[in-house]
């Protein structure tokens, strides 16, 4: 049973969330709170497993409370707030502070039709999340780090594609992967489960702290060396080939694994159109999205990597991929970026590395 505390200044929202959550046998609403001060006392008395938290509240805003909570008493928090283009940066900040998920309020202007399902899935993901792993990616503020130096001297990027999928905990995991990547890295296509508008803010933030260019994908964007394209929220992204070039198409369509964008949709298209020229990476997340797609990539000749359990916030998607035999390698998050670069290194570099090693021994 997942014990949930609802924190929101709106009596209507507290009632709606309580009613929705009470429909599920594995969830128990143990209390509600009108603001963080009441929430503080109820955390002590009720010991909830998960908190749902609004951002805009009286006496203390949700972000301030989240920051204090994660510092003094870390626990799973799901932000449930009115989401819009204007406050997407605030929501991203909540994820940086330690929130497990951010979803729209039921009935808000920008809510998705499946908010009740998203709410339940977010709470279930939060209940099994290891919040101690939700730390900011290495780096100094917004300063761009020195590029990660692969063991081999250069990267052969012609016709190479990097495909990445992530969900719960993925914003920090993707940043960890991309920070320090050199401008010579292969073009990347990325699906991170996020609401509409948030993907643009997420891409813009990554673009400020990475050496590569990161942006939200547009229909018919070419996949270019040193550029990472993030699928826009509420749209699927697929890879296509046009002559000697790869491009992405942005499409509608039904959700897959209740997700749009879906990792499986991207990975299946990469398997069809890039085959052995691709490398697939499946990161932390709840559910099974991406597992079958990663298997399709592996079967098409692509190299595949899954994040290991010890470094995952939620070991769901990678676990399903590993069970299917879809992961060619399983490794900690911090090792994935260097592994990607070395995998794409030109064959001549491998030979040069062996020669250098032999010469150094002789000398």
Residues 168 and 125 in one domain: no
The predicted-structure confidence for 13-38, as pLDDT tens digits, reads as follows 999 999 989 999 999 999 999 999 99
pLDDT at 58 over 90: no
Residues 331 and 198 in one domain: yes
Residue 6: which CATH number?
A: 3.40.50.2300
Residues 170 and 236 in one domain: yes
**Residue 129 lies inside a defined structural domain of this protein:** yes
Residues 187 and 315 in one domain: yes
**Residue 151 lies inside a defined structural domain of this protein:** no
Residues 81 and 213 in one domain: no
**Residue 363 lies inside a defined structural domain of this protein:** no
Q: Grade residue 86 by pLDDT with cuts at 50, 70 and 90.
A: low
In three-state form (DSSP H/G/I as H, E/B as E, the rest C), the secondary structure along the chain is CEEEEEECCCHHHHHHHHHHHCCCCCEEEEEEECCHHHHHHHHHHHCCCEEEECCCCCCCCHHHHHHHHHHHCCCCEEEEECCCCCCHHHHHHHHHHCCCEEEECCCCCCCCCCHHHHHHHHHHHHHHCCHHHCCCCCCCCCCCCCCCCCCCCCECCCCCEEEEEECCCHHHHHHHHHCCCCCCCCEEEEEECCCCCHHHHHHHHHHHHCCCEEEECCCCCECCCCEEEECCCCCEEEEEEECCEEEEEEECCCCECCECCCHHHHHHHHHHHCHHHEEEEECCECCCCCHHHHHHHHHCCCEEEEECHHHCCCECHHHHHHHCCCCCEEECHHHHHHHHHHHCECHHHHHHHHHHHHHHHHC
pLDDT at 52: 96
**Residue 148 lies inside a defined structural domain of this protein:** no
Residues 46 and 165 in one domain: no
How many domains does the chain divide into?
2
Residues 115 and 264 in one domain: no
Residues 234 and 104 in one domain: no
**Residue 294 lies inside a defined structural domain of this protein:** yes
**Residue 45 lies inside a defined structural domain of this protein:** yes
pLDDT at 105: 81
Global pTM value: 0.87
pLDDT at 114: 59
**Residue 356 lies inside a defined structural domain of this protein:** no
Structural domain range at position 251:
161-345
The predicted-structure confidence for 107-148, as pLDDT tens digits, reads as follows 655 454 556 788 899 999 999 999 987 655 445 556 676 665
Show which residues are catalytic.
167, 193, 289
| Region of poorest pLDDT, from 51-65, 127-141, 293-307 | 127-141
The predicted-structure confidence for 245-279, as pLDDT tens digits, reads as follows 999 999 999 999 999 999 999 999 999 999 999 99
User: Rounded to whole angstroms, how far apart are CA atoms 356 and 265?
Assistant: 43
pLDDT at 257: 94
Residues 255 and 206 in one domain: yes
Residues 193 and 100 in one domain: no
pLDDT at 115: 62
Residue 332: which CATH number?
A: 3.40.50.180
pLDDT at 363: 44
Residues 129 and 215 in one domain: no
Q: Grade residue 82 by pLDDT with cuts at 50, 70 and 90.
A: confident
pLDDT at 155 over 60: no
pLDDT at 153 over 50: no
pLDDT at 158 over 80: no
pLDDT at 353: 47
User: Quick one: average pLDDT of 148-169?
Assistant: 72
For the chain, the average pLDDT equals 88
The predicted-structure confidence for 164-213, as pLDDT tens digits, reads as follows 999 999 999 999 999 989 988 999 999 999 988 889 999 999 999 999 99
Residues 293 and 187 in one domain: yes
**Residue 139 lies inside a defined structural domain of this protein:** no
């Amino acid at each position: 049973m997942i014990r949930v505390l609802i924190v929101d200044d709106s009596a209507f929202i507290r009632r709606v969330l309580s009613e929705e959550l009470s429909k599920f046998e594995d969830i128990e609403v143990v209390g509600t709170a009108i603001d963080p001060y009441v929430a503080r006392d109820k955390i002590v008395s009720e010991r909830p497993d998960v908190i749902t938290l609004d951002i805009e509240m009286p006496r203390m805003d949700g972000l301030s409370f989240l920051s204090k909570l994660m510092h003094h008493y870390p626990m799973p928090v799901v932000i449930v707030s009115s989401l819009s283009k204007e406050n997407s940066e605030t929501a991203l900040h909540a994820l940086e502070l330690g929130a497990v998920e951010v979803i729209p309020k039921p009935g808000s202007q920008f809510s998705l039709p499946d908010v009740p399902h998203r709410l339940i899935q977010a709470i279930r993901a939060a209940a099994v999340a290891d919040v101690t792993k939700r730390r900011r990616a290495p780096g100094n503020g917004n300063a761009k780090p020195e590029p990660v130096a692969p063991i081999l001297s250069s990267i052969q990027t012609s016709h190479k594609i990097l495909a990445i999928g992530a969900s719960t905990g993925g914003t920090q995991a993707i940043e960890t992967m991309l920070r320090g990547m050199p401008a010579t890295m292969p073009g990347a296509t990325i699906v991170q489960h996020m609401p509409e508008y948030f993907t643009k803010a997420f891409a813009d933030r990554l673009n400020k702290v990475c050496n590569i260019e990161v942006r939200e994908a547009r229909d018919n964007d070419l996949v270019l060396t040193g550029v990472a394209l993030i699928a826009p929220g509420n749209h699927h992204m697929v890879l296509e080939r046009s002559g000697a070039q790869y491009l992405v198409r942005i499409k509608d369509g039904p959700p897959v694994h209740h997700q749009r964008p879906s990792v499986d949709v991207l990975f299946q298209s990469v398997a069809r159109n890039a085959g052995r020229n691709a490398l697939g990476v499946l990161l932390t997340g709840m559910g099974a999205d991406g597992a079958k797609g990663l298997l399709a990539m592996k079967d098409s000749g692509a190299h595949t990597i899954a994040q290991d359990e010890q470094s995952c916030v939620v070991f769901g998607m990678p676990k399903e991929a590993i069970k299917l035999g879809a992961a060619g390698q399983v490794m900690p998050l911090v090792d994935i970026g260097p592994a990607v670069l070395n995998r794409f290194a030109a064959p001549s570099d491998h030979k040069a590395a062996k020669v250098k090693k032999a010469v150094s021994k002789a000398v």
